[in-house]
């Protein structure tokens, strides 16, 4: 593997906009992320109960869909994107509610196919035209912060609302959530990691420690059953024949024009929500780059858009996914960013961690003993991920804002976005920005010009 000189970009093969990086050739393996990923694959598997319930499909088919999605995750690091991709998580309840309007069976699955194809097309258009990169630069701080804040509020509120997972697993989620926050975000714990080897080891594995504690506490307090390790067959091969017959448009038929037309508003809303992930990803990478000058990290939102679009269209044609294919797993990327800040001796390159994590998560969701071991804790692992994502989004939202006006707009916009959806939240945020920020700046500029005119006249 070629050694990276100080301040240079990690080695790669240039492919136009993309930068091909292969494990062991273009970046080192990161063992802390490998173990963390093996345990965190329980979050990926959390998609299974949602797919079986909403689409009415067998467990085996849903599991096959998760494996295919896991493989497509690896495209990001493979092609030069320095973040860990994930679901478009805040959109899941909106998509689910939309699908329930259609009859259970082929029609509902075709409605999902229509949404995911349209979302994929929007991603690709935004990336290939360069609009994605320009959009991030021209969106005002107050709007960026409002999107992040809305996503953060929605993520946390969804866990604690009536019918949320906290009501089912209160002790496990409370203990696991506090421990996750302590390990990932506590300044005191960061100091302890430098002085105590045990704390340093725990800190390396991020949320893994919290999930392990949840696995132990859950059965003790009677919130989850004891895990049962299944041995025998080791690797799960996706049931491609079943996928084609049950969920793929190649078997059940493509959506009608009416289904595509009906899915357009939802697809636009989903992209608006996903836009917040690009903002979050850019902010997390910027934080890491500020702390580490030894590596130049190229975060290109256009490239990330194209890869996300390709993933969505592939999934729509093979295994339409309610969770959709988003550009960022915020909780995991934040944990990697925190460890990256500790220096090159801890993590040689950001790609060492992101690449290792997603290749191992693909392997993990395919290993039958691993899936059987973590099956009882899947809802709790998913809940901890949402709580960490909520913290990250709200923290970044506050750091983006530069003055009280921006903070006020972000707060109101975020609350409306979480309560009424992306359309209302974004619309209100734009109106408030035009009324408050632009008006104030123009007024100040006008006063400054008047003062200069008076001074010149004198």
Report yes or no: 381 and 42 within 8 Å, Cβ to Cβ: yes
Q: Higher pLDDT residue, 151 or 365? A: 365
The radius of gyration of the chain's CA atoms, rounded to the nearest angstrom, is 23
Distances (CA, A) of 324 to 32, 247, 428: 28, 15, 26
pLDDT class of 232 with cuts at 50, 70, 90 = low
Q: Is the pLDDT of residue 441 over 70?
A: no
> Which among 140-144, 149-153, 253-257, 371-375 has the top mean pLDDT?
253-257
Specify the DSSP element, H or E, that contains 41. helix 31-45
pLDDT computed for residue 44 by the predictor: 87
Place of tokens 């693909």: 362
Q: Tell which residue, 113, 115, 77, has the closest CA to residue 349.
A: 77
Give the C-alpha separation, 220 to 53, whole Å. Answer: 28
Cα torsion angle, 375, 378, 380, 384, sign: positive
Give me the chain's average pLDDT, please: 87
Give the C-alpha separation, 414 to 348, whole Å. Answer: 37
Report yes or no: 329 and 382 within 8 Å, Cβ to Cβ: no
- The number of CA neighbours under 13 Å toward the Cβ of 127 is 25
pLDDT computed for residue 31 by the predictor: 87
Residue 225 CB burial class (10 angstroms; 0-12, 13-18, ≥19):
exposed
Token code pair at residue 51: 């797919």
Q: What are the tens digits of pLDDT across the range 103-130?
A: 999 999 999 999 999 999 999 999 999 8
pLDDT computed for residue 19 by the predictor: 96
In the predicted model, what is the mean pLDDT of residues 360-368? 92
DSSP class of residue 87? -
Give the C-alpha separation, 394 to 265, whole Å. Answer: 27
Place of tokens 């974004």: 426
Give the C-alpha separation, 24 to 446, whole Å. Answer: 59
Report yes or no: 311 and 325 within 8 Å, Cβ to Cβ: yes
Structure pTM?
A: 0.78
pLDDT class of 439 with cuts at 50, 70, 90 = low
Residue 33, sorted as left (phi over 0), alpha (psi -120 to 50) or beta, turns out to be alpha
At residue 298's C-alpha, the angle toward residues 73 and 193, to 5°, is 75
pLDDT computed for residue 174 by the predictor: 95
Q: Which residues pair with 13 in a beta bridge?
A: 20
Q: What are the tens digits of pLDDT across the range 123-159?
A: 999 999 988 767 767 888 898 888 888 888 888 888 8
Q: What are the tens digits of pLDDT across the range 393-426?
A: 888 888 889 899 999 999 999 999 888 877 788 8
Cα torsion angle, 371, 375, 380, 382, sign: positive
Token code pair at residue 104: 């259970």
Q: Coil, helix or strand for 295?
A: strand
Q: Coil, helix or strand for 272?
A: helix
Give the C-alpha separation, 334 to 279, whole Å. Answer: 13
Q: What are the tens digits of pLDDT across the range 305-344?
A: 999 999 999 999 999 999 999 999 887 888 888 889 889 9
Dihedral, CA atoms, 227, 373, 350, 175, nearest 10 degrees? 0
Cα torsion angle, 69, 260, 246, 273, sign: positive
Give the C-alpha separation, 220 to 216, whole Å. Answer: 7
pLDDT computed for residue 442 by the predictor: 52
Q: Coil, helix or strand for 105?
A: coil
Token code pair at residue 323: 């969770």
Q: Coil, helix or strand for 83?
A: coil
How many Å from the N-terminal Cα to the C-terminal Cα in the chain?
69
The string of DSSP letters for 301-340 reads: HHHHHHHHHHHHHHHHHHS--TT--BS--HHHHHHHHHHH
């Amino acid at each position: 593997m070629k050694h990276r000189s100080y301040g240079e970009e990690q080695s790669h093969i240039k492919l136009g906009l993309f930068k091909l990086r292969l494990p062991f050739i273009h970046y080192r393996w990161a063992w802390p992320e490998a173990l963390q990923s093996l345990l965190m694959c329980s979050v990926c598997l959390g998609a299974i109960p949602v797919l079986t319930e909403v689409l009415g499909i067998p467990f085996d088919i849903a599991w096959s869909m998760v494996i295919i999605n896991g493989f497509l995750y690896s495209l990001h690091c493979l092609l030069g994107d320095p973040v860990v991709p994930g679901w478009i998580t805040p959109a899941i309840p909106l998509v689910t509610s939309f699908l329930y309007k259609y009859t259970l069976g082929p029609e509902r699955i075709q409605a999902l196919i229509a949404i995911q194809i349209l979302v994929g097309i929007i991603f690709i258009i935004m990336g290939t035209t360069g609009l994605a990169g320009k959009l991030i630069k021209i969106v005002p701080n107050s709007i960026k912060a409002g999107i992040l804040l809305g996503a953060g509020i929605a993520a946390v509120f969804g866990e604690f609302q009536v019918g949320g997972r906290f009501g089912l697993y209160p002790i496990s989620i409370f203990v696991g959530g506090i421990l996750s926050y302590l390990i990932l975000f506590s300044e005191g714990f960061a100091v302890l990691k430098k002085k105590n080897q045990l704390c340093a080891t725990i800190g390396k594995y991020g949320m893994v420690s919290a999930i392990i504690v949840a696995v132990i506490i859950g059965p003790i307090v009677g919130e989850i059953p004891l895990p049962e390790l299944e041995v025998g067959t080791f690797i799960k091969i996706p049931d491609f024949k079943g996928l084609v017959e049950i969920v793929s448009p190649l078997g059940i038929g493509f959506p009608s024009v009416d289904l595509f037309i009906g899915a357009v508003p939802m697809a636009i809303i989903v992209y608006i929500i996903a836009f917040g992930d690009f903002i979050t990803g850019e902010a997390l990478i910027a934080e890491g780059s500020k702390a580490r000058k030894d590596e130049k990290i190229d975060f290109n939102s256009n490239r990330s858009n194209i890869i996300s679009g390709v993933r969505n269209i592939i999934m729509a044609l093979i295994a339409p996914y309610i969770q959709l294919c988003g550009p960022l797993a915020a909780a995991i990327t934040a944990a990697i960013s925190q460890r990256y800040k500790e220096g090159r001796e801890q993590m040689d390159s950001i790609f060492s961690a992101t690449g290792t994590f997603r290749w191992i998560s693909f392997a993990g969701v395919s290993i039958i003993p691993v899936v059987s071991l973590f099956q009882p804790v899947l809802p709790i692992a998913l809940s901890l991920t949402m709580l960490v994502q909520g913290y990250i989004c709200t923290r970044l939202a506050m750091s983006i804002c530069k003055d009280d006006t921006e903070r006020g707009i972000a707060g109101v916009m975020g609350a409306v976005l979480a309560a009424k959806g992306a359309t209302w939240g974004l619309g209100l945020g734009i109106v408030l920005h035009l009324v408050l920020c632009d008006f104030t700046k123009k007024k100040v500029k006008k006063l400054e010009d008047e003062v200069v005119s008076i001074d010149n006249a004198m």
